Amino acid sequence: MVPGDGVELFVRHGGSGPAVLLLHGHPRTSSTWHRVASRLVDSGLSVVCADLPGYGRSGKPTPATDHRPHSKRAGARHLVAVMRALGHESFAVVGHDRGSYYGMRMALDYPDQVSRAALLDCVPISEHLDRADARFATAWWHWFFFAQPDLPERAITADPTAWYRADRPAMGPENYDEWYAAVHDPDVIRGMLEDYRAGLTVDYRDEQADRAEGRRIRQPVLVLWSLRDDLAELYGDPLVIWRGWADDVTGFGIDSGHHMAEEAPEALAAALRDFLANSL
């Protein structure tokens, strides 16, 4: 547990050399990186895997009616403080799914600390919402369900295993066991749902303000997406969208389902090694 400016976060860390912070998505924990992190350590990196604020064993911000304590801006502040506490004044960030939104916010708000960003299976929240149509609402209905008060907590906590339907062999037994403990904790469920509630409110407004002010990601950005998921099906080439937000964008699809760190660790680690090589 590492202090993170008001919230303690649970982290795993190891290796030496330039630092990279790995951020998981919903409904995972930092253990989702177990097949990738060691490969990056072997390539000469200092790797930090953090449970996002509200997720896993990390501290749980107190919910507020405006959802600001669970905003990506608040989370970015906590995560940067944790990296500083570990001695990393400058680092790269890799974010998957919900973790990508924390990575994007860190790159925008902390350009002197974040050297580069890899953003996986995502486009900005505002791009999703501004393009929302019947296809998006049907495929990503959970965004809007999770935003409702109280009801999603009741539905998920009634039987978290049935709700999420995780695959123990595919995840790996220790990763699965950690995930299982997390999703059976009502405080974790609340924290994860508050992440989504912030996304549709305060995070959306923060991104709108970024666009109005002409703020862009100046660091190199790598965008990767799962070829067996639906991001490209919904939006075409994700790189086109990200070039509206960042100056230096490269990327490609990975032959994987959504949880690429678990399903395609070799391909993902290779892509990240190539992208992070300039940090070595």
Give the residue numbers marked as catalytic: 97, 258
Q: What contacts 141, CB < 8 A, 6 or more positions away?
A: none
- The order of strands in the sheet holding 217-226 is 11-15, 46-50, 19-23, 91-96, 114-120, 217-226, 246-254
What is the rounded distance in angstroms from the CA atom of residue 183 to the CA atom of residue 43? Answer: 33
Long-range contacts of 205-211 (CB under 8 A, 24+ apart): 206/71, 206/72, 206/73, 206/105, 207/124, 207/125, 207/126, 208/126, 210/108, 211/126
**DSSP per-residue codes, 111-127:** TTTEEEEEEES---HHH
Question: What is the pairing mode between strands 246-254 and 217-226?
Answer: parallel
Question: What is the pairing mode between strands 46-50 and 91-96?
Answer: unpaired
For residue 83, give both structure tokens: 């990296």
For residue 74, give both structure tokens: 């608040």
Compute the Cα dihedral for 18, 254, 104, 215 and give only its sign: positive
Query: How many CB atoms are closer than 10 A to CB 42?
Result: 12
